[in-house]
Structure 1
Amino acid sequence: MRFWIDPQKCVSCLACVRVCPAEAVAVDGDSVSIVEEACIRCGMCVPACPHDAIDASGELAKAVGYAAGGRAVLILSVEAAAYFYPSTPEQVVNAAFKAGFRAVHHGVTGDELVAAEYLKLWAEPEWGTMIRSTCPVVVETIKREYPELLPYLAPVETPVAAEARYLRRLYGRDVPIVYAGVCLADGEADVDAVVTFQELAQLFEARGVVVSEQPLYFDRVVGERRRHWSTAGGMPLPVLQEEHQASRRFRKVRGLGGLAALARAVAVDRIDLGFVDILPCEGCLDHPLLGPREELFWRRRVVGEAEPPRSRVPVLEDGVGLEVGRGFEPGRNGRRVPESDVEAVIEAIGRAPTGKPWDCGACGYGTCAAFAEALVKGRATYRQCPPYQERRLAEAAREAAVDRLTGLATFRVFKDRLVQEVARSKRSGEPFAVVFVDLDRFKRLNDTYGHEAGNRVLEGVGRELHRAIRSTDVAARYGGDEFVLILVRTDEVGGRRVGEVVRRSVESMGVAMGYGEGVVTVSVGVAGYDPGRPEVDVVEEADRALYRAKAAGGNRVE
């Protein structure tokens, strides 16, 4: 079984990337694809895609060939009753016979075999912690991400694998076995072909069989449908009943997110958890391939009504004695991403005002470090990161080296030059000055004379600032109607002199442009950087001086 993305439908919205718990979605520019060897087949990406671009496929062609051969056996999981509704389970089974399958089984024998094995384990004293292993999605996640939990997995096969072994003993080792269900990772190694229910419907169509036209009663003998010990999924009913008795030996966990807490509890805190009934969802009826989650209880009702009464005696034949134990090997999850690469991504994103990574989770990952690892592996993109996008947006406004309107340097150039001047001043011991220049009542001028007039004033201020400084100094537009100067090898007194020159020249410029006296003026704030006091923020000091100048009425130097 594989999940794949249709490039014709995919718009690269990255919804699948955000929900994938296995980081199995690769992003390369606008191209998004599922990495098959990393996919755990949980199906969470299917309902997450708003464009229906993700589909799941089994081995339909092989299954059609086996059905046509007339020798194959079909394992039809009980969830088929909900998928093919309003057709009855009897009609679906009859359709399978008519399509060419020699026998149809419902996986009940596999469930019973697995349940019997779990009952044996449950009866053993003092096993501490045991984790349910009937779900291949959980097992695969543990193998790849939480290998410390492997010793605690119940050493039992999945029900489909157990059923397949039983059928080979019953019909012969060379009998082709096809499994139709929702969790197709279950027993893939033990059957010859797996198909989704959608593909099973296509198989019926290819074989010329209409399900709704089949008889409402079984027209052939079918495999065992009654249960004695088991529930769907292979868990023994007596164990599950421990949940209702608030037993300390039983814990129910739903969702792969619970694995991190389990790993911490057993591997670090050394806590005996008892039996852990963990599934990624509320059972196979909650699998994304079966439809919306809000229909879960309806599906349960349909399947429950199709189940025959529970048998009061064991349904396994005497002497079945199949071996359904198994061992687990750690999975491959790739090489560890170098810490330097992770740190480089975090620095590119930027840190929160506290100095720590944002860790906002908006990208779909719990931490910036987890996102960085995924990005380095090609499983994520900066487009997922809102803090990074906001930072880029802010930087884009300052990206050009020269402000187009005033001809002055941009804010970005000012910041770079400020860092250089601080470093130079510390080395040489020479001071420098920062001068903030802010137009007074500029909004009123814009509102009265129009934005074109305001732009001409800004251009004029840019020219006056250029005239007032030396070639070694920097004049930059700080933003809006605010400007800033860096005066090298100049102390605060020298900065005040330049500030006064700027104030007078701008006032004269306004009059020359036809505005009355006092209409075009500036407030100036000056601060000097003292290399002997490196802890003082010279920009902040100059900004405070500017605030004092404006608070005093403007058209002055502070």
Structure 2
Amino acid sequence: MSIIGLQKANCKNCYKCVKVCPVKSIKVENEQAKIIDRDCILCGTCLEQCPQNAKTVASDVALVKQMMKSGERVILSIAPSYYGCFDFEDVHQFAGAMKALGFYGVSETAEGAAYVTAEYHRIMQENSMKNIISTCCPSVNRLIELYYPSLVDQMAPVVSPMIAHGRLLKQSYGPGTRVVFAGPCIAKKDEAADIRHNNEIDAVLTFEELGAWLKEEHISFANAESATFLNPSSKILRMYPIEEGILASLRSRGDIGDWKLLSVSGSGACIDLCRAMERGELDHCFIEINMCRDGCVNGPGSGTDTVSRFASRVRIRDYAYEDAESYPNLPETIPMQMQFVDRSSKEDIPDEETIRAILAKIGKNGPEDELNCGSCGYPTCRAKAIAVYQGKAELHMCMPYMKERAESLSNCVLSETPNVTIIVDSDLNIIEFNAAAERTFRISRHEALQKCIYELIDSSDFQFVFDSKQSITDKKVHYKEYGVTMEQTIVYIAKENIAMGIFKDITKEEANIESQYKLRAETMEMAQKVIDKQMVAAQQIASLLGETTAETKATLTKLKNMIVFDED
């Protein structure tokens, strides 16, 4: 099941999630980030750090509502960090608000934590493990099983408080009871679905989802009818969600022998610890380990901002110490064993020749070209090249390379275009001057960049563009001093408040047009002369024809009369 999803429309190809992911379980495909479910440790860092809020979390709210609608008995197991993540005056208000949502009852998960601590203490008394790593954090459990499997035998073989509590509730209220866990952790959703214990918890909600549900139903803590929790006080076990909370519960449990206690939190520190343990640097230590900095209270689903995290810790600590004198009784007996295994995937690692070939495609032909800037999200250029080979990254995720390539292409286009291109700022200073402009205006780019446009040509059109914020297109201008006629387009670029002039040299075209006009005029003049001569010749011919016709007429008339009248 995919716990973390992606809203594709919001993903802006910024690689922020790749940068912050502690295990690089995010691939970029078609310029979109995508979670690699099998490699993800569900720490939620990408959720918190995504600047576009493009990441989503699978929700069980609809499932829980359906359980209630069908008439099933639904009990809420609430993580003890609720006390620092919700704003209420009295815990009975919280319980009342949950019952108003439709839960049969509310019970603190800390009740299950009491059994977990007792089991940890028993293992410490057995004194048979090299080190004992706490296994309450499902995100850390995934980290070790997937990436540091050599440490599996140092993980406490104990279920988490959530699983223990689910078993307790179903044992107490019957197997038909539905148990819903609510907490600040998204990895709990995956833990609940784990086939090793997938019958104890029927649904998982984050505090953020729970808060949104309350808002949707218009239920407030202040107006909620008071109600009691199903379980008795959990005492010191309420400390579990803050740093050193598990250690405090162990001390409260009793003698811990000569075990050295260590608390580690935060993804970076967790990874550093695992590496140190792989090197054999620790011995006979009980290690409380949390993926979230300062403990579960800062989980990605807590619904609180970073400003309140310190106050939350104080609030939870004060609540835990209200009745922390003695360790609670454990009247029930439940299975606590958990088996952790090597779940690592073996990725293909390319050879040196392949790595170098990949790097060469983005202009990195040697170690001196490898900036290792981390802009792609990977710590080194080589790590990114390996990710490309494994299909996790795209070749052109390299920001320096893309910047250089874009600048190179831009410079190439500007330099090689046959049209004169001049860019000026609002003060009419020349800020770009291409090769065609150098040839036309017979001045070097270096010299031109020291001048204003009016020192070379009439600047009135540029000034008009800045004043009106409107572009001028295809205006014919003649620069007599340079002997050229240009078709001028000046474009206003509002974002940069600059104007770009593009001048097409039409001197030859204009000369051809003028030459063709002269040729037509000369041809017309010659044609007119021919016409005039033809008219004169026609008139002369007509005159001669007129005289001949008159004589012919007279002769024929005389001949006719002689015939008719028998004249001599």
Establish whether residue 226 from structure 1 lines up as the match of residue 234 from structure 2: yes
**Once the 2 structures are TM-superposed, how far is the Cα of residue 158 of structure 1 from its aligned partner?**
1.0
Partner amino acid for 1:50? P
Alignment-derived partner of residue 490 in structure 2: none
Alignment-derived partner of residue 64 in structure 1: 65
Could you list the per-position Cα deviations for residues 164-199 of structure 1 after superposition, in whole angstroms to 9, with x for gaps in the alignment?
111121112221111111114234133001112232
More helix per residue? 2
Give me the whole-angstrom Cα distance separating, in 2, the residues matched to 1:253 and 1:11.
34
Secondary structure of 1:235 counterpart? helix
Alignment-derived partner of residue 98 in structure 1: 100
Secondary structure of 1:275 counterpart? strand
Give me the whole-angstrom Cα distance separating, in 2, the residues matched to 1:206 and 1:404.
61
Alignment-derived partner of residue 350 in structure 2: 338
Partner amino acid for 2:298? D
Alignment-derived partner of residue 297 in structure 1: 310
Alignment-derived partner of residue 86 in structure 2: 84
Establish whether residue 328 from structure 1 lines up as the match of residue 340 from structure 2: yes
Could you list the per-position Cα deviations for residues 320-366 of structure 1 after superposition, in whole angstroms to 9, with x for gaps in the alignment?
22221211122243632433654433333444875474333333322
User: TM-score with structure 1 length normalisation?
Assistant: 0.65
Distance 1:275 1:25, change over 3 A: same
* Deviation larger for 134-143 or 29-38: 29-38
* Deviation larger for 305-314 or 105-114: 305-314
Give me the whole-angstrom Cα distance separating, in 2, the residues matched to 1:258 and 1:184.
20
Give me the whole-angstrom Cα distance separating, in 1, the residues matched to 2:139 and 2:252.
24
Secondary structure of 1:212 counterpart? coil
**Once the 2 structures are TM-superposed, how far is the Cα of residue 370 of structure 1 from its aligned partner?**
2.4
Distance 1:327 1:449, change over 3 A: closer
Contact 2:359 2:365 in 1 (8 A): no
Partner amino acid for 1:321? T
Give me the whole-angstrom Cα distance separating, in 1, the residues matched to 2:61 and 2:321.
30
Give me the whole-angstrom Cα distance separating, in 1, the residues matched to 2:28 and 2:264.
32
Give me the whole-angstrom Cα distance separating, in 1, the residues matched to 2:46 and 2:327.
40
Contact 1:81 1:88 in 2 (8 A): no
**Once the 2 structures are TM-superposed, how far is the Cα of residue 401 of structure 1 from its aligned partner?**
13
Establish whether residue 198 from structure 1 lines up as the match of residue 208 from structure 2: yes
Unaligned runs of 5+ in 2: 193-197, 420-441, 458-568
**Once the 2 structures are TM-superposed, how far is the Cα of residue 285 of structure 1 from its aligned partner?**
0.9
Question: Which of structures 1 and 2 has the bigger CA Rg?
Answer: 2
Contact 1:265 1:271 in 2 (8 A): yes
**Once the 2 structures are TM-superposed, how far is the Cα of residue 384 of structure 1 from its aligned partner?**
4.4
Partner amino acid for 2:296? C
Partner amino acid for 2:222? S
Contact 1:99 1:204 in 2 (8 A): yes
**Once the 2 structures are TM-superposed, how far is the Cα of residue 287 of structure 1 from its aligned partner?**
1.5
Could you list the per-position Cα deviations for residues 57-101 of structure 1 after superposition, in whole angstroms to 9, with x for gaps in the alignment?
321111112233251111011222333314643222112223322
Superposition pairs of residues 226-245 of structure 1, within 5 angstroms? 226-228=234-236, 231-233=239-241, 235-237=246-248, 239=250
Distance 1:213 1:403, change over 3 A: same
* Deviation larger for 187-196 or 162-171: 187-196
Q: Identity over aligned residues, as a percent?
A: 24
Could you list the per-position Cα deviations for residues 202-246 of structure 1 after superposition, in whole angstroms to 9, with x for gaps in the alignment?
44466674443113x43x45323322567324724264799xx9x
**Match 2:374 to one of 337, 357, 361:** 361
Distance 1:270 1:207, change over 3 A: closer
Give me the whole-angstrom Cα distance separating, in 2, the residues matched to 1:271 and 1:65.
49
Distance 1:124 1:343, change over 3 A: farther
Establish whether residue 12 from structure 1 lines up as the match of residue 13 from structure 2: yes
**Once the 2 structures are TM-superposed, how far is the Cα of residue 116 of structure 1 from its aligned partner?**
0.6
Superposition pairs of residues 105-120 of structure 1, within 5 angstroms? 105-120=107-122
Alignment-derived partner of residue 316 in structure 1: 329
Contact 2:235 2:320 in 1 (8 A): no
Superposition pairs of residues 68-467 of structure 1, within 5 angstroms? 68=69, 69-86=71-88, 88-125=90-127, 127-186=129-188, 187-188=191-192, 189=198, 190-204=200-214, 209-215=219-225, 217-218=226-227, 220-228=228-236, 231-233=239-241, 235-237=246-248, 239=250, 249-269=260-280, 271-272=282-283, 274-280=285-291, 281-290=293-302, 291-307=304-320, 309-318=322-331, 320-333=332-345, 335-339=347-351, 341-351=354-364, 355=368, 357-382=370-395, 384-393=397-406, 395-396=408-409, 403-404=416-417, 443-444=446-447
Unaligned runs of 5+ in 1: 407-438, 454-558
Alignment-derived partner of residue 30 in structure 2: 29
**Once the 2 structures are TM-superposed, how far is the Cα of residue 112 of structure 1 from its aligned partner?**
0.4
RMSD of the alignment, in Å?
Answer: 3.8
Secondary structure of 1:329 counterpart? coil
Give me the whole-angstrom Cα distance separating, in 2, the residues matched to 1:354 and 1:159.
50
**Once the 2 structures are TM-superposed, how far is the Cα of residue 387 of structure 1 from its aligned partner?**
3.2
Give me the whole-angstrom Cα distance separating, in 2, the residues matched to 1:225 and 1:131.
27
Distance 1:28 1:364, change over 3 A: closer
Partner amino acid for 1:283? G
Q: Which runs of 4+ in 1 moved over 6 A?
A: 398-402, 439-442, 448-453
